[in-house]
Chain A
Amino acid sequence: MVTAEQRALATVDQSVAPASTVAVVWDALGTVPDPEVPAVSIVELGIVRGVALRGGRVSIEVTPTYSGCPATEMIETMIRERLAAIGMPDVDIVRRLSPPWTTDWMAPEAKAKLTAFGIAPPHLVVGRVDVAGISPLRRAGVVVPCPRCASPRTRLLSQFGSTACKAQYRCEACLEPFDYFKPH
């Protein structure tokens, strides 16, 4: 259903300067949730890399989180549906690989939303020790506080959780298992 507000936006699309149309598109994309982590939008997740207008068409650059992420196609469909709903049916989606996505691009407010959703947010990748050889995970020494009770007494259960982008932990204080969004 197209609301009055959306119709107004569609009108704006036809008449205003491109710069504000780009802003309208960014705002619209900010309401598209990540299908696997619906607590955050695809903009907050940092996977929308650019918005441009070219020859009356909207061009959106999207980068995948992980190479095999099964949500990639679904995200593209959701972007098209969202923009069509505000009167922008002519959308080109460009998949951009470089530079590769990192969780450091995640918006600061997204981390609070993840915690409230029960997912421990990722630590910063920048500054993480990167050894030339192979370092087993248990040497990483990262403390992942429990998103429910904030206890630092947590334990890695498995390097992967419900999706490729998460690991599985358990809190030794409140005994709840939880997902940790891996720094990537």
Chain B
Amino acid sequence: MSNTQQLEDLTTQVRRDILRMVHKVNSGHPGGSLGCAEFMVALYNEIMDRKDTFEMDGIGEDLFFLSNGHISPVFYSVLARAGYFPVEELSTFRLLNSRLQGHPTTHEGLPGIRVASGSLGQGMSVAIGAAQAKKLNNDSHLIYSLHGDGELQEGQNWEAIMYASGNNIDNLISTIDLNGQQIDGSTDTVLPMGNIKDKFEAFGWTVVEIEEGNNIEAILEGMADAKSKTGQGKPVCVLLKTIMGNGVDFMMHTHAWHGKAPNDDQLAVGLELNAVTLGDY
């Protein structure tokens, strides 16, 4: 897939999947999922060099780790629509006996997932380990990871950030979803984190900023830039400025939909704003 329109159509369908998944079980995290929909679609369908089949070790392909596991709806939708498992299985999200647990896990054997996440702040360490395994295996492919901005409040991230530059982990592109929101409010009101770009640079990372993190072309351009900066002795951080709830107007620009599902009427509005493109599951 390379056509921007195709990626946008897929994003619209992913938004529908997210809304329908969380609505059905009246739980889950639509806000951050919608905010990262363009990024995840672009990553899996254009940016990553990946195999069609799933093998845990992922030798000879790029790998992705989702650290902020609560945006599982977008992850599941993108994985299913990339062919890792049947799209119909999205209807089992958060139900008993489902492989689509509330937060992603390897425990139920869902193809596409390489580590459990949900308890925040652990994904970057895992991504670094996978990046070091790639180096040991002389595998030149890259490791991608995604983290929430609020998630950076977890101290383990800073252990990992310090380690990655100190050990020249230059086959890693860690993206921070800068939506400025977390459960209790804006990141600035909950715990101001100062200038995140300055912090990553002070820790020895190369930083790429994507100002329009919900614009497919901007994402493709920014990630190509990030990719070009790998292999130069430094880990690469992408600061992706997104709008939480993007594509569903009443969910945008607020933390209110971080972990809340739409009711029937709200779902109808959200779906109307995002007409079917590829077909619902």
A, B co-complexed: no
